[in-house]
């Protein structure tokens, strides 16, 4: 029997917390005090929240938020709510290390776009969430802060690269969390920690500011949450055009209209007649640990309860072609971003092997290589459109392995098949990154060892709201987040 009893404030969904704050049922000071005490109790066991800010300063910020409300002024739905951006996002006045010893003392003078928007919505930044070095790899560990541990089994990985965010959410140390995703970094940790992670449509959430603005980015930022309604609210805060990001999508008027009061009604829609294509392990191409496919198929068995049919399909495109185009895009974008650190002998010595591998992989690329990879990506897009002509959504597992040993850098084999790169074990997410489609990872349950897993639900390009509505319908019939709390929260 666990004697710890969390303050009821930290257990509230974010939308309900927002309503309680604005109704003056609970003060911002009380919210901050409850969260800081809760973090003090649970964070040492998982190392999810880093760069903690001074408690006295945070309490003063909470008092100021209360004074604003007393004067009839609210900054937005996140008014007075604690938030800890991922340590890849720039935070003005707060240390931003990118998980790298090169930047261990780096304090930005300005915020990333999503951080600006969360501050403008009233959030109070209490620190950062942990990430692997430069976000490389789906396991959160780095030489600055160490490893983040899984809230369901502290000997296991929390996933990555938004592992700190996912672990903090699962343990109710944050009401909502932000993350970023290139190779599954919003999706994989959500699956490993039994929460929701959403990779938005390409351009939905402005990325940056960044030195390069015009090349199509495969990395994006997005929301994580303990329920779909909170996820949608944070997406609404993050999304929308920004003049500094020329490829950002215009406002989605429905997303932009979401509030804590109307969000559940907007997500509650009739899905009768909708169809899901179940792709599974891509016709046997992808190795999977035992139990993953079964959990996903069990989750899909609930979909007819809300009018959605599910049919297995054959792979719509050769998976190995997707992997090869991925490697070119990944080397080109990731390698060139960090090239200056590689050419400087001092900083090169501090780069982890995975970063060096990506950079060196970019050195021999020719323009023709990139063009050929882009042509293949275009063919994949066209094949996907043919699938979406018959189906409204696609479903695949979120990961190919359950949470693994926290001291292992990455899985070297799956089901007897060797992994030839540090991210091959996450190949199941790659096609959807390249698609630019909106993707949500939803919880699907636990294996016999009590380890969580998730499933990706993919929608048509730019149809983010429809994906959220499907996830909300599933959540209404199978709420794993509240049905299976981490052991530290069980009484």
Cα gap 62→14, rounded to integer Å: 17
Contact 338, 350 (CB under 8 A): no
Active site residues: 86, 161, 185
Report how far Cα 124 is from the mean position of its chain's Cα atoms: 20
Contact 430, 319 (CB under 8 A): no
Cα gap 75→81, rounded to integer Å: 11
Instruction: Identify the three-state secondary structure at position 141.
Output: strand
Cα gap 347→477, rounded to integer Å: 51
Residues with Cβ within 8 Å of residue 471, at least 6 apart in sequence:
196, 228, 231, 440, 442, 457
Distances (CA, A) of 377 to 319, 338, 380, 436, 439: 12, 24, 5, 10, 18
Report how far Cα 364 is from the mean position of its chain's Cα atoms: 32
Extract the tokens encoding 115: 């951080």
Distances (CA, A) of 303 to 299, 307, 383: 8, 7, 25
Phi first, then psi, for residue 126 (nearest 5°) are -100, -10
Please return the burial class of 300, using the count of CB atoms within 10 Å of its CB with bins 0-12, 13-18 and 19+: buried
């Amino acid at each position: 029997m666990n004697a710890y009893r969390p303050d009821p404030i930290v257990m509230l969904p974010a939308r309900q917390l927002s309503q309680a704050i604005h109704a003056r049922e609970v003060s911002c000071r009380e919210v901050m005090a409850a969260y800081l005490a809760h973090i003090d109790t649970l964070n040492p066991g998982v190392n999810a929240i880093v760069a903690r800010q001074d408690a006295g300063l945070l309490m003063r910020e909470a008092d100021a938020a209360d004074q604003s409300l007393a004067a009839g002024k609210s900054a937005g739905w996140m008014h007075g709510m604690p938030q800890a951006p991922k340590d890849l996002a720039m935070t003005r006045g707060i240390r931003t290390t990118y998980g790298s010893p090169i930047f261990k003392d780096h304090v930005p003078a300005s915020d990333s776009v999503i951080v600006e928007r969360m501050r403008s919505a009233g959030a109070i930044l209490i620190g950062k969430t942990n990430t692997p070095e430069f976000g490389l790899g789906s396991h959160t560990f780095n030489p600055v802060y160490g490893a983040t541990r899984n809230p369901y089994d502290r000997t296991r990985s929390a996933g990555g690269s938004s592992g700190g965010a996912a672990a903090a959410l699962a343990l109710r140390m944050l009401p909502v969390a932000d993350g970023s995703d290139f190779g599954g970094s919003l999706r994989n940790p959500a699956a490993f920690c039994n929460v929701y992670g959403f990779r938005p449509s390409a351009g939905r959430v402005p990325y940056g500011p960044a030195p390069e603005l015009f090349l199509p980015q495969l990395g994006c930022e997005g929301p994580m949450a303990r329920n779909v309604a909170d996820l949608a609210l944070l997406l609404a805060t993050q999304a929308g055009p920004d003049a500094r990001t020329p490829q950002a999508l215009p406002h989605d008027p429905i997303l932009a209209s979401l509030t804590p009061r109307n969000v559940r009604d907007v997500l509650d829609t009739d899905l009768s007649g909708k169809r899901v294509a179940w792709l599974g392990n891509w016709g046997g191409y992808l190795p999977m640990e035992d139990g993953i496919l079964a959990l996903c198929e069990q989750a899909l068995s609930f979909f007819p309860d809300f009018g959605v049919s599910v049919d297995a399909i054959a792979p719509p495109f050769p998976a190995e072609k997707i992997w090869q185009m991925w490697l070119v895009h990944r080397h080109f974008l990731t390698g060139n971003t960090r090239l200056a650190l590689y050419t400087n002998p001092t900083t090169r010595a501090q780069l982890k092997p995975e970063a060096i591998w990506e950079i060196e992989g970019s050195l021999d690329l020719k323009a023709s290589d990139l063009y050929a990879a882009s042509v293949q990506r275009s063919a994949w897009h066209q094949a996907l459109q043919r699938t979406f002509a018959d189906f409204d959504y696609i479903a695949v597992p979120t990961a190919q392995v359950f949470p693994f040993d926290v001291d292992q850098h990455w899985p070297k084999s799956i089901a007897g098949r060797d992994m030839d790169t540090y991210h091959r074990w996450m190949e199941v997410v790659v096609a959807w990154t390249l698609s630019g489609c909106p993707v949500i990872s939803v919880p699907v349950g636990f294996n016999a060892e009590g380890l969580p897993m998730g499933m990706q639900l993919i929608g048509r390009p730019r149809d983010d709201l429809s994906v959220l509505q499907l996830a909300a319908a599933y959540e209404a019939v199978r709420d794993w987040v509240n049905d299976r709390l981490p052991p530290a929260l069980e009484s």
